[in-house]
Amino acid sequence: MEKFIIEGGQPLSGTVVPAGNKNAALPVLAATLLTREEVVLRNIPRIRDVEAQIDLLRQVGAEAEWRDENVVAVCGAGVRETAVDAALAERIRASFLLAGPLLARFGRATMPPPGGDVIGRRRLDPHLDAFRALGATVRSGRVYDIEAPEGLCACDFFMDEPSVMATENALMAAALTPGSTVIHNAASEPHVQDLARLLLAMGARIEGIGSNVIVVHGQEELGGADFAIGPDYIEIGSFIAAAACTGGELRIVDAGPDDLRMTRLAFARLGCRIDVDGDDIVVPAGQELRVRDDDGDAVSKIEDGPWPAFPADLTSIALAMATQAQGMVLIHEKMFENRLFFVDKLVSMGARVIVCDPHRAVVSGPSRLHGERMESPDIRAGMALLIAALCADGTSEIGNVRQIDRGYERIEERLRALGARIERVPPRGVAQQGEPLSV
């Protein structure tokens, strides 16, 4: 497997342009199956999860091509297949997002269990309950057979949790179902909003975008569109943490500051100063991170939750930053019981972290980290380890970097441009361009 070799201790400074939101790219790609017309999607990151989703679209019969560096065009006129390939589906969690479009357009979807990061139990029940509320029947076994041979029916239903992907599946199915569907307790993350805006551009009418009650006035047919997704606020948070931990000055252009309000509040508890300059985010140089205790000298806490709370995907990043902050802080990951299981790798680097239970860890800093050999267990933990390696003394080696590649576009190239000393090393026996094969 490929690995990163990182020589720590170099400040990250300069300007970076954030990639498009990974978690928006995957549902908008799935939504292209709702129409026979071409949909052009812009600002799509070229990462492994996106390539996997495009492979799934092609498998069911869509034509998809990269028109430019970050522009994908998809035409679903030739889609006939409603059974998703199991081997392709297990590559990503977002494979299950094909269920809503296939069901709404063809009356059936046969879905194998999805793949994705192993960060805890991730229920499919909210997806299936939404399909049932819309009039579909669901048979569960080795695969999920979801059928509505007479078509779906608009409805009013309440989700038992504000699941992001289930909300997205419900939105897509309802957009191609004539009538008004009301989704209560809906997720409202920026990527859900991006999907809703694409559906508007395709001809649906949607009220309540950005709220937890969404009304979808579905249509019998949807058309093509040309749509750009927003910046990836999780990647932006990762770059902020990397700059703050290494002491560099970083400008992140066109960062969408409104989507970073809670991230800025949470990082401020760790003493991280973040300035807003128009649409840009600026991380000043030479910061001395210090935990801001709660009133009465109580231990401060960073906890995640559904939007607009602190994003779960940034808890690993916040924990890595906390190792460099003076003081003590509790990191409470409420949503996924396996997300904190990478902490032992930070401890091996010299971090002082006590894992209280699967959801909580207490970090006491600052810790002088040293280089280590590690494996990336998932996307966000891999990025957290990379941030730790960037500010550690000596050289670190991170294996299984395919996990990081799933969510971060050309990360080593972009970090090098900011001053990081990082190299990608191919598996033994695989030569880089211009190099001989090792034997």
Read off φ and ψ for residue 260, nearest 5 degrees.
-110, 10
Which ranges constitute the DSSP H helices of 365-434?
Answer: 379-391, 402-405, 411-417
Q: What is the Cα–Cα distance from 12 to 371, expressed in whole angstroms?
A: 18
Residue whose pair of structure tokens reads 């939504």 in the numeric block:
31
Distance CA 189, CA 63 (A): 29
Tell which residue, 229, 312, 259, 172, has the closest CA to residue 25.
Answer: 229
H-type helices in 117-260, by residue range? 125-133, 164-175, 190-202, 233-246
Is residue 117 annotated as part of the catalytic site, yes or no?
yes
User: Pick the catalytic residue: 55, 85, 117, 393?
Assistant: 117
Q: Which two tokens stand for residue 196?
A: 């809703």
Nearest to 287 by CA among 266, 300, 270, 273: 273
Q: Can you list the positions of beta strands (E) in 243-370?
A: 250-252, 275-277, 280-283, 300-303, 327-332, 352-357, 360-365
Task: Enumerate the active-site residues.
Answer: 117
